[in-house]
């Protein structure tokens, strides 16, 4: 290698090599550096490796280092760290296996030809050893990331799959990753490895930042494990290994927490599994999975559409339809009036077609549909027919129907205000039967009002159904503030913290964006009761909650891990007042109808289970 500059104390310094002005000399020196680095024991080796790490993240598509042997160098360094613990513990060499695996993952993230080069360089065996946990969870995280990238490409997946233990190790890691990070790092602040702390915070942290980053990395460790498993799930021959009940039942709960923004996590893997008939059978045999899919399908989860896909595929399969229809059909009925969701266009029509097929196939004997489910589906089909009839009705007749529905709604609001909740719910049902199907804004209010009644009548499932119908009809979808809040409360009544949390967060988001003049006068547009519910559900849905309970409920900073902590008013239920959620009532009905009659208790009026019974 060329000599270092006069100012540099390190012979053969990599950074000095990079400054070489002659391109051919520079390439020759870099090639030599990559070949010789694994056999050297000099101090300061972590410096060029960290420099390569930064370069790989900043320029992952640059082929220069790939051509000069960076993959062979990184694989050799990982092996050296695994086999020579004395070298690993010397100087700052403990960082090198982490950086080496991270570099491999960064360069194979986007380019299939780079992944081919990595496989030919022999990176898979040392990555598998890191995946086994031969070092620590920090190295496991970057190893599963790199292997996940290699498994993504058609040309390199066979090389990954040839190591049979990778799939089993990934499944075990997905199930245990949160507990591993909690017990090996998060739980005991005074036992944290210093190099873990440095990697997590890049040397700029404190205990609080370390804890936050550990939660984020734990989520990534789990989500990247699921991503790797997902690559195997596309191949039918691996589904028997993946579709074991003890693993499947945990998938809906693997959501990555609020720190996960980009990965569909467990629901994404379930969607891949349900796409193939070999996967649908095991899923249909797990009632808890079907129930979880129904909850996700009727929630503010970013991956809501994936749960809907799963339910529809299960219903379309004659081998699984009869096992799931009584649970899945009511959920899909609540979603039948949704127009589109993400990339899913005319989603409501697709749902209706699937449900209609279920009714039509009943005569074959393959499906067994309860009379209640059949009646519900037939009622939906009648409403579709009603929509066609209304298109041919004179406008004057439609106005009369709309006016009659408004009168009945006002009667329901009056009964609600007087405390006759059951009668109010009946009036809203009567108004829905009259209200034209195309009067979506009015139907949103009627469904949302009925959801409020169901809450007070201690019928959370019915409240979820009605709130979901209101959210599906609303434009934009899933943005009707009152319905979000009511569904958040209903999920809270059922103890479903994640679903309640996501709805409550979206409700707060709608409040913060409101243009209502009453809200604009406040310093904080977010209602206090919504903040309290979010805090409560964040504790209940905390990523490390299960591990914390299992290992003695160790609290994390700021009470985030206080899994048994409760607010003083957790037993009380509150509803948003008209002023608390802005003008989503009056304005959404247009000029013809005034929606200040949307039923609501005022913010200061709280109700608990005992007051509901008295009412």
Q: How many CA atoms lie within 13 A of 408 on its CB side?
A: 23
Q: Do 422 and 457 contact (CB within 8 A), yes or no?
A: yes
Answer whether residue 555 shows pLDDT above 70.
no
pLDDT of 614 reads: 29
pLDDT at 606 over 70: no
Separation CA 516–CA 510 (nearest Å):
11
Each residue's pLDDT tens digit, 263-303: 999 999 999 999 999 999 999 999 999 999 999 999 999 99
Whether 251 has a pLDDT exceeding 90, the answer reads yes
Q: Determine the pLDDT at residue 610.
A: 31
Q: pLDDT class for 343, splitting at 50, 70, 90?
A: confident
CATH fold of 242-254+262-391: 1.25.10
Q: Please state, in angstroms and as integers, the Cα–Cα distance from residue 355 to each residue in 281, 292, 321, 373, 374, following that order.
A: 19, 20, 10, 10, 9
Average predicted confidence (pLDDT) for the chain: 87
Diameter over CA atoms, the chain: 93
What does the pLDDT look like over 151-182, one tens digit per residue? 999 999 999 999 989 999 999 999 999 999 99
Q: What's the mean pLDDT in 185-197?
A: 93
| Distance separating alpha carbons of residues 574 and 436, to the nearest angstrom | 31
Q: What's the confidence (pLDDT) of residue 43?
A: 83
In this model, does residue 561 exceed pLDDT 70?
no
What are the start and end residues of each CATH 1.25.10.10 domain in the chain?
Answer: 242-254+262-391
> How much is the pLDDT for 522?
58
Q: What is the pLDDT of residue 196?
A: 96
The CATH architecture of the domain made up of 41-233 is Alpha Horseshoe (1.25)
Cα→Cα distances 106→55, 62, 140, 260, 353, Å = 10, 11, 15, 19, 44
Predicted local confidence at residue 589, as pLDDT:
32
Confirm if 474 and 445 have CB atoms less than 8 A apart. no
SS3 state at 201: helix
Q: Residue 611: its pLDDT value, please?
A: 31
DSSP annotation of 573 reads B
- In degrees and rounded to multiples of 5, residue 601 shows phi and psi of -85, 150
- What pLDDT, on a 0 to 100 scale, did the predictor assign at position 516? 63
Pair 45, 93: CB distance under 8 Å: yes
Identify each DSSP E strand in 333-454 by its residue range: none
398 to each of 217, 300, 518, how far by Cα in Å? 57, 33, 35
DSSP 205: -
**78 Cβ partners below 8 Å, 6+ apart?**
97, 100, 101, 126, 127, 129, 130
Mean of the pLDDT values across residues 407-419?
A: 97
Predicted confidence (pLDDT) per residue in 90-106, tens digit: 999 999 999 999 999 99
What's the rounded mean pLDDT across residues 351-362?
A: 90
Return the higher-pLDDT residue of 607 and 451: 451
- Rounded to an integer, what distance in angstroms lies between the CA atom of residue 377 and that of residue 371? 10
| The pLDDT of residue 573 | 35
Asked if pLDDT for residue 224 goes beyond 70, the answer is: yes
> Are 210 and 201 spatial neighbours (Cβ–Cβ below 8 Å)?
yes
pLDDT value for 9:
57
In this prediction, residue 359 carries a pLDDT of 87
Residue with the larger pLDDT of the pair 360 and 72: 72
pLDDT of amino acid 559:
40
* Helix boundaries (H) for 234-363: 239-242, 245-248, 265-274, 277-284, 287-297, 304-316, 321-334, 347-360
For residue 40, the SS3 value is coil
Q: Which of 6-10, 199-203, 460-464, 598-602 has the least mean pLDDT?
A: 598-602
pLDDT in tens, 114-157: 999 999 999 999 999 999 999 999 999 999 999 999 999 999 99
* pLDDT tens profile 479-535: 999 999 999 999 999 999 999 999 999 999 998 887 765 555 555 667 889 999 999
CA 362, CA 368: separation in Å to the nearest integer?
7
Q: Does domain 393-614 have CATH number 1.25.40.10?
A: yes
- For the chain, residues classed under CATH 1.25.40.10 are 393-614
Structure-token pair, residue 88: 């690993």
Q: In the structure, what pLDDT confidence band is assigned to residue 592 with cuts at 50, 70 and 90?
A: very low
Taking only the tens place, the pLDDT of each residue in 378-411 is 999 999 899 889 989 999 999 999 999 999 999 9
User: Which of 570, 571, 554 is closest to 562 using CA atoms?
Assistant: 554
pLDDT higher than 50, residue 64: yes
Percent of the chain residues past pLDDT 70, beyond the cut: 85
Provide the pLDDT for residue 563. Answer: 37
Round the CA-based radius of gyration of the chain to a whole number and report it. 29
HSE at residue 610, side-chain half, CA atoms within 13 A, is 2
Measured distance CA(51)–CA(203) in Å, rounded: 16
pLDDT at 511: 86
Whether the pLDDT of residue 418 is over 90: the answer is yes
More confident residue, 438 or 44: 438
């Amino acid at each position: 290698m060329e000599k270092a500059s006069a100012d540099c104390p390190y012979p053969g310094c990599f950074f000095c090599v990079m400054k070489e002005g002659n391109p051919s000399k520079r390439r020759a020196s870099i090639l030599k550096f990559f070949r010789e680095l694994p056999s050297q024991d000099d101090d300061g080796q972590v410096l060029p490796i960290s420099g390569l790490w930064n370069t790989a993240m900043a320029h992952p598509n640059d082929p220069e280092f790939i051509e000069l042997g960076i993959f062979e160098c990184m694989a050799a360094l990982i092996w050296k760290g695994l086999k020579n613990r004395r070298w690993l513990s010397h100087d700052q060499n403990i960082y090198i296996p982490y950086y080496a695996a991270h570099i491999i993952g960064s360069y194979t993230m986007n380019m299939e030809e780079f992944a081919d080069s990595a496989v030919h360089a022999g990176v898979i065996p040392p990555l598998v050893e890191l995946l086994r946990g031969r070092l620590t969870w920090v190295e496991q995280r970057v190893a599963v990331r790199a292997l996940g990238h290699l498994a993504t490409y058609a040309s390199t997946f066979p090389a990954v799959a040839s190591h049979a233990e990778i799939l089993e190790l990934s499944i075990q890691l997905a199930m245990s990753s949160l507990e591993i990070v909690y017990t090996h790092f998060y739980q005991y602040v005074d036992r944290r490895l210093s190099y873990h702390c440095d990697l997590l915070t890049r040397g700029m942290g404190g205990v609080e930042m370390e804890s936050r980053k550990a939660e984020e990395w734990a989520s990534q460790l789990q989500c990247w494990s699921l991503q790797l498993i997902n690559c195997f799930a596309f191949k039918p021959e691996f589904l028997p290994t993946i579709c074991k009940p003890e693993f499947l039942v945990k998938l809906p709960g693997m959501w990555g927490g609020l720190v996960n923004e980009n990965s569909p996590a467990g629901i994404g893997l379930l969607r891949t599994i349900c796409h193939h008939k070999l996967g649908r059978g095991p899923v249909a045999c797990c009632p808890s999975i079907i129930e979880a899919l129904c909850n996700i399908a009727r929630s503010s989860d970013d991956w809501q559409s994936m749960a809907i896909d799963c339910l529809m595929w299960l219903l379309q399969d004659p081998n699984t339809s009869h096992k799931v229809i009584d649970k899945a059909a009511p959920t899909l009925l609540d979603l039948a009036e949704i127009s589109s969701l993400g990339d899913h266009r005319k989603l409501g029509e697709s749902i209706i077609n699937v449900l209609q097929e279920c009714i039509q196939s009943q005569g074959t004997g393959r499906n067994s549909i309860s009379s209640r489910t059949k009646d519900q589906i037939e009622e939906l089909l009648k409403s579709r027919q009603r929509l066609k009839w209304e298109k041919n009705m004179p406008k004057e007749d439609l106005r009369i129907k709309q006016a009659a529905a408004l009168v009945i709604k006002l009667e329901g609001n009056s009964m609600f205000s007087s405390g006759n909740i059951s009668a109010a719910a009946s009036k809203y049902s009567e108004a829905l039967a009259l209200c034209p199907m195309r009067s979506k804004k009015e139907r949103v209010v009627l469904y949302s009002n009925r959801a409020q009644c169901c809450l007070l009548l201690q019928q959370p499932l019915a409240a979820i159904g009605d709130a979901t119908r209101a959210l599906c009809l609303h434009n934009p979808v899933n943005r009707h503030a009152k319905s979000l809040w009511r569904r958040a409360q209903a999920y809270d009544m059922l103890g479903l913290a994640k679903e309640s949390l996501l709805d409550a967060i979206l409700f707060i988001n709608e409040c913060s964006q409101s243009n209502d003049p009453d809200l604009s006068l406040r310093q904080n547009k977010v209602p206090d009761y919504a903040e309290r519910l979010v805090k409560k559900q964040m504790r209940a849905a905390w990523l490390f909650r299960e591990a914390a309970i299992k290992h003695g409920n160790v609290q994390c900073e700021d009470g985030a891990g206080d899994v048994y902590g409760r607010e003083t008013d957790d037993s009380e239920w509150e509803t948003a007042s008209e002023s608390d959620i802005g003008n989503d009532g009056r304005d959404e009905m247009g000029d013809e109808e005034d929606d200040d009659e949307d039923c609501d208790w005022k913010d200061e009026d709280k109700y608990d289970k005992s007051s509901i019974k008295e009412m």
